Amino acid sequence: MGTFGQTAMHSPLLLREWTGAEPVIHVTKAGPVQSGRLDKGMLAEHLLEQAQSLAPRIVALRRAIHAEPELGLETPLTLAKVKAELSDLPLTWSEGPSCTGAVAVLQGTGPGPAVLLRGDMDALPMAEETGLAFASTIPGRMHACGHDTHTAMLAGAARMLAERREEFAGEVRFMFQPGEEGYHGARFMLADGLLGGQDSPLPDAAFALHIMPNYRHGVLASRTGALLAAADMLEITVTGRGGHASMPHQTRDPVPVACEIVTAIQALVTRRFNAAEAVVVTISQLDAGSAHNVIPDQALLKGTIRTLSRERRQEVHQALRHLAEHIALAHECTAEVTITEGFPPTINDARAVALFDTVASELPGGSFEHLASPIMGAEDFSYVLEKVPGAMAFLGVAAEGSDWAGCCGIHSTRMVVDEAVLPRGSAILAGCALRFLDRGWE
């Protein structure tokens, strides 16, 4: 473990190291909340004050994670930073054999419902070009999807709720998850029983945030039903009979067949599926041949399939196989279609979206926007939402007053976030947990 990882145990030290000075934070100690049902105004006011008082810790953890990104299902250094930051809290930790995912459980005053809050920990295999003082120290790796902020906000929420544990019955489970970027980390954690199993039932509700660097500062946004799409990988291998390019009649050229399949897919999407329910099939790669005057034996197509429901997903898969195989057959070629299933669609529960709306809107200066349509990206929190009623929401982290729509989006090598929003994210997560434990889905 490098120098940065060695100092990660001490978040105030990290904060000074990477900023040069402590941020100016107006600290107000969280006031008491009446027993029984939580008072709306008091809860909202004190939650944001409490979160803002923790801003130095939240920011320091975020920067520590950002500077030392890890990929895939193995994120031991990141998890160590999280555990060190939360080591003084009364949490019970569980880990499984499949990955470095961990769940920390905070018990309230007695029996009651269980709520899950999730943050993902892995980064992307891409070089960072932000020029930040705390930029990635590992070549070819970057937290370009904001998972460093998700983890830091979740850790902040854990500290907030630990300070309030006498105010609620039940328990909060903090899910620190690796392998979101295509590695199915949530699925592995479910299979390992970390979210619930024979000895402990699944939680009663689940919530997650995802930052958006090109969305309005501090605004929370989500929608009921499909929020994000299923993402599957498509490969079509067209096999013909190669030969010399000057004598194509002696061959069965797979290249024009592959091209015909590509154009036919566009008609398939627009003419076979309702335009009101988005279906996306994009062919992004065509590989064939090795010389300008030789017709190859094979042509390979690769792309992505995005759908918003289980039913449409299966219909599209079947239609693509039928289309490719029969177009190839018409040209005396063959087509082998391979579809590798990725994440399922992310489906939000209406009650959880309403709870997000309530909590975000009640926080001072907060607002909630209902998205008119789904986003065709994908997220493996979808695995959790298949088992547990809940929701994911997007948190805008563009700088206040900026041209937010023009900011670099997620998966950009130049993506930056306004860290001033992170305490609000912690407050939203903590608020969702407190509100659900106190009132359920009311």
* pLDDT at residue number 38: 58
* pLDDT at residue number 229: 97
**CATH assignment, 3-225+345-439:** 3.40.630.10
pTM: 0.88
* Mean pLDDT along residues 40-61: 87
* Nearest partner of 52 among 374, 363, 368, judged by Cα: 363
pLDDT at 17 > cutoff 50: no
Beta bridge partners of 103: 94, 175
* pLDDT at residue number 402: 87
Q: How many helices, marked H, and strands, marked E, lie in the chain? A: 12, 16
* pLDDT at residue number 186: 97
pLDDT band at 39 (very low <50, low <70, confident <90, very high): low
Q: Where are the CATH 3.40.630.10 domain residues in the chain?
A: 3-225+345-439
* pLDDT at residue number 405: 86
Taking CA atoms, 62 is separated from 14, 76, 119, 176, in Å, by 10, 16, 12, 14
pLDDT band at 42 (very low <50, low <70, confident <90, very high): low
**DSSP-based three-state secondary structure for 390:** strand
% of the chain beyond a pLDDT of 70: 90
* Mean pLDDT along residues 101-108: 97
Q: Where are the CATH 3.30.70.360 domain residues in the chain?
A: 230-341
* pLDDT at residue number 276: 86
Is the sign of the CA dihedral 181, 183, 189, 190 positive or negative? positive
Sequence-ordered list of residues with C-beta below 8 angstroms from that of 336, at least 6 positions apart, any chain: 236, 237, 239
Distance CA 403, CA 176 (A): 32
Beta bridge partners of 177: 120
Task: Write the pLDDT tens digit of every residue in 420-442.
Answer: 999 999 999 999 999 999 999 98
Both tokens assigned to 435:
């509100």
Which CATH code of 3.30.70.360, 3.40.50.1370, 3.40.50.1580, 3.40.50.1820 fits the domain covering 230-341? 3.30.70.360
* pLDDT at residue number 40: 57
% of the chain beyond a pLDDT of 90: 85
Distance CA 137, CA 237 (A): 40
- Residue 244, number of CB atoms within 10 A of its CB: 12
Q: Would strands 219-222 and 367-370 be described as parallel, antiparallel, or unpaired?
A: parallel
Please name the residue that has the structure tokens 């196989």: 321
DSSP one-letter string for 248-273: GGGSB-HHHHHHHHHHHHHHHHHHHS
Is the sign of the CA dihedral 362, 363, 365, 370 positive or negative? negative
Read off the amino acid at residue 368: F
CA 374 to chain centre: 15
Task: Write the pLDDT tens digit of every residue in 153-171.
Answer: 999 999 999 999 999 999 9
pLDDT at 130 > cutoff 60: yes
Task: Write the pLDDT tens digit of every residue in 281-340.
Answer: 999 999 999 999 999 999 999 999 999 999 999 999 999 999 999 999 999 999 999 999
Sequence-ordered list of residues with C-beta below 8 angstroms from that of 380, at least 6 positions apart, any chain: 179, 180, 184, 185, 186, 187, 343
Task: Write the pLDDT tens digit of every residue in 336-388.
Answer: 999 999 999 999 999 999 999 999 999 999 899 999 999 999 999 999 999 99
Taking CA atoms, 108 is separated from 38, 43, 173, 261, 269, in Å, by 15, 17, 11, 58, 51
pLDDT band at 15 (very low <50, low <70, confident <90, very high): very low
pLDDT at 21 > cutoff 90: no
CA 207 to chain centre: 12
Is the sign of the CA dihedral 22, 28, 31, 37 positive or negative? negative
